[in-house]
């Protein structure tokens, strides 16, 4: 008798389970699932928009910083004497016979004087290359976010002073 009762109980449970699986989702469950899905999609869109705005601002700030660096360096080099350029530094004497040095230090380009101290002039750089060709200084800088910029500073006063190019 015990076996027959167990068998009946098992068949009742199995039929109840079959009824539940055949019913599917209720309307309320579908609405809740749809609301959660829409919330996730909306949040993803908002995050993507914020990221794009951040990238745009970062690019614009980097452009301003790059152009300010080129203009300041060009101004320093106008009328300079004894300009020596290696791949990692530029040394020169200003119009007032003060010695200056632009060099790479860590993740920045800094300007130093012969009296000590330094001034950061370009930050968050990954790699820098200075070179001199005839009467111009070529500068190539790659920033932390893999954006590479090139600049040319002409040393003769009668030429166009600075060309700015982005790679």
| Averaged pLDDT of the chain | 82
> Of 60 and 11, which is predicted with more confidence?
60
Report which secondary-structure segment, H or E, holds 69.
helix 27-77
**∠87-88-92 over CA atoms, to 5°?**
95
CA distances from 42 to 35, 45, 48 (A): 10, 5, 10
Helix (H, G, I), strand (E, B) or coil at 75: helix
Whole-prediction pTM: 0.63
Q: What phi and psi values does residue 140 have, to the nearest 5 degrees?
A: -125, 125
Query: Is residue 154 scored above 70 in pLDDT?
Result: yes
Q: Residue 144's pLDDT band (boundaries 50, 70, 90)?
A: confident
Burial bucket for residue 138 (CB in 10 Å: 0-12, 13-18, 19+): middle
- What are the tens digits of pLDDT across the range 62-75? 888 899 999 988 88
Q: Is the pLDDT of residue 128 over 90?
A: yes
């Amino acid at each position: 008798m015990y076996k027959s009762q167990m068998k009946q109980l098992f068949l009742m449970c199995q039929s109840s389970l079959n009824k539940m699986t055949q019913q599917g989702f209720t309307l309320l469950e579908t609405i809740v699932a749809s609301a959660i899905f829409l919330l996730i999609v909306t949040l993803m869109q908002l995050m993507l928009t914020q990221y794009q705005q951040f990238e745009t601002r970062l690019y614009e700030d980097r452009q301003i910083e790059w152009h300010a660096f080129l203009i300041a360096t060009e101004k320093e080099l106008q009328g300079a004497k004894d300009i020596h350029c290696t791949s990692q530094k530029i040394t020169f004497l200003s119009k007032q016979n003060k010695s200056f040095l632009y060099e790479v230090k860590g993740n920045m380009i800094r300007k130093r004087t012969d009296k000590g101290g330094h001034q950061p002039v370009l930050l968050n750089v990954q790699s820098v290359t200075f070179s001199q060709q005839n009467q111009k200084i070529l500068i190539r800088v790659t920033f932390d976010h893999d954006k590479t910029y090139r600049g040319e500073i002409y040393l003769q006063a009668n030429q166009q002073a600075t060309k700015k190019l982005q790679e």
